[in-house]
């Protein structure tokens, strides 16, 4: 903790030091033996130092049993000096009230404050200064109220600061998840296509060298596009369009010997919807290439002016009942859900697997998406 922070914590107690003018003036102006003056001055100094330390600990977030011990020292010195030195020192009870308000559990504060006010009344009344009965004891109570309010504000500010830090950490974690999801979507598709075309080129190397060279050229092109896409994702500007994803799906599936039927046209869609459907096409294509065993894939896309519906169906092995959804589909479901849409997947009508995404075309207000 730096020096500035320490003084900031002690600063809550400094305004109340004004009341030390009265005991200090009494110590100088009242005729007493030198030994009494020295002893009282030392006790007043010790009282002040320990009082400041109570505030430092209480507002510095290190309120412990040691703080209560110091509070007991403040109370003992304050009562002792007030009783021994007279009404000019009764104002020390205000310090006891202030220290009690910041250090004690709230259910015990008022017991200490009432006790300090009672000592103040007794000292002032014993000296016959009845006018002060309506000043110093009341100041004990008002000071406690003020410090309890300050304590509450400090507590609330601390909680708000902690909440802001937690929100910042959550935002960072959310951004990391988003980035990981985007990289998975980008590289999963591209690497699957590279692996597929490389395997095909290996089989054609001797039987059809020209076709093998074409496939390897495609591998190079896919690798370069993947690198550019990763760079775009890192820069935060990557957007995958549905038309682009459909074109890539045609190339990848046809190259794997899978018959493809795509929509005759791609309607003009809002940017976020177009990008989300592009990711759906990419993920569906990747899954078909990886483990579907399909021989044909049909993609449909409809737009009725209210919502867009994309369906990717294959005639492969269908969903595996003993496996959980992959991280790619989970990420897609989250992406689609944030736009107010829904992503479902399961067995198709004629067997195989069907992935269906439904997205509203109108923007969804923040916080209303499922």
CATH for 240-370 is 3.30.565.10
Q: Where are the domains of the chain?
A: 3-164, 240-370
pLDDT of residue 1: 44
Alpha-helix residue ranges (DSSP H) falling in the chain = 3-10, 21-29, 34-59, 65-85, 92-103, 106-126, 136-207, 209-235, 242-255, 271-287, 327-338
pLDDT of residue 324: 44
Whether residue 13 contacts residue 98, with contact meaning beta carbons closer than 8 Å, is answered with yes
pLDDT of residue 82: 84
pLDDT of residue 200: 80
Whether residue 203 contacts residue 353, with contact meaning beta carbons closer than 8 Å, is answered with no
pLDDT digit string (tens) for the chain, length 370 residues = 444 445 555 555 566 677 778 888 888 888 888 888 899 889 989 988 888 888 777 776 555 667 888 888 888 998 888 888 888 888 888 888 888 888 887 788 888 888 888 888 888 888 776 666 677 788 888 888 888 887 788 778 778 878 877 877 777 677 677 777 777 776 777 777 788 778 888 888 888 888 888 888 888 877 877 777 776 666 555 567 888 888 888 888 887 888 989 988 888 888 888 888 988 998 888 888 877 788 899 999 988 888 999 999 988 877 654 444 455 677 788 888 888 899 988 887 777 888 999 999 876 554 445 4
Give the integer Cα–Cα distance in Å for 292 and 318.
7
pTM: 0.45
pLDDT of residue 270: 86
């Amino acid at each position: 903790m730096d020096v500035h922070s320490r003084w900031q914590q002690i600063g809550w107690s400094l305004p109340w030091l004004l009341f030390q003018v009265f005991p200090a003036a009494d110590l100088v102006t009242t005729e007493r033996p030198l030994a009494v003056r020295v002893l009282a001055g030392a006790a007043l100094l010790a009282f002040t130092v320990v009082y400041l330390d109570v505030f430092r600990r209480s507002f510095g977030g290190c309120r412990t049993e040691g703080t209560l011990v110091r509070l007991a020292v403040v109370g003992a010195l304050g009562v002792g000096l007030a009783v021994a030195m007279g009404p000019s020192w009764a104002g020390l009870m205000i310090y006891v009230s202030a220290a009690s308000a910041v250090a004690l559990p709230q259910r015990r504060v008022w017991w200490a404050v009432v006790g300090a006010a009672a000592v103040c009344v007794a000292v002032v009344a014993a000296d016959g200064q009845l006018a002060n009965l309506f000043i110093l004891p009341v100041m004990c109570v008002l000071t406690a109220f003020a410090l309890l309010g300050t304590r509450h504000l400090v507590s609330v500010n601390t909680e708000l600061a902690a909440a802001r830090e937690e929100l910042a950490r959550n935002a960072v974690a959310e951004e990391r998840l988003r980035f990981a999801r985007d990289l998975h979507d980008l590289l999963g598709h591209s690497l699957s296509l590279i692996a597929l075309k490389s395997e095909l080129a290996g089989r054609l190397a001797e039987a059809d060298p020209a076709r093998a060279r074409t496939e390897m050229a495609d591998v190079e092109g896919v690798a370069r596009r993947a690198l550019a896409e990763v760079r775009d994702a890192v820069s935060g500007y990557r957007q995958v369009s549905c038309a682009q994803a459909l074109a890539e799906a045609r190339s990848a599936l046809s190259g794997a010997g899978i018959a493809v039927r795509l929509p005759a046209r791609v309607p003009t869609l809002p940017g976020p919807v177009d990008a989300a459907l592009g990711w759906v096409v990419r993920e569906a294509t990747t899954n078909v290439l990886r483990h579907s065993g399909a021989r044909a894939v049909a993609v449909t896309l409809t737009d009725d002016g209210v919502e867009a519906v994309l369906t990717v169906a294959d005639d492969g092995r269908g969903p595996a009942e003993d496996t959980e959804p992959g991280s790619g589909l989970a990420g897609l479901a989250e992406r689609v859900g944030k736009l107010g849409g829904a992503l479902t997947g399961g067995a198709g009508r004629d067997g195989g697997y069907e992935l269906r995404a439904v997205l509203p075309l109108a923007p969804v207000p923040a916080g209303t998406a499922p």
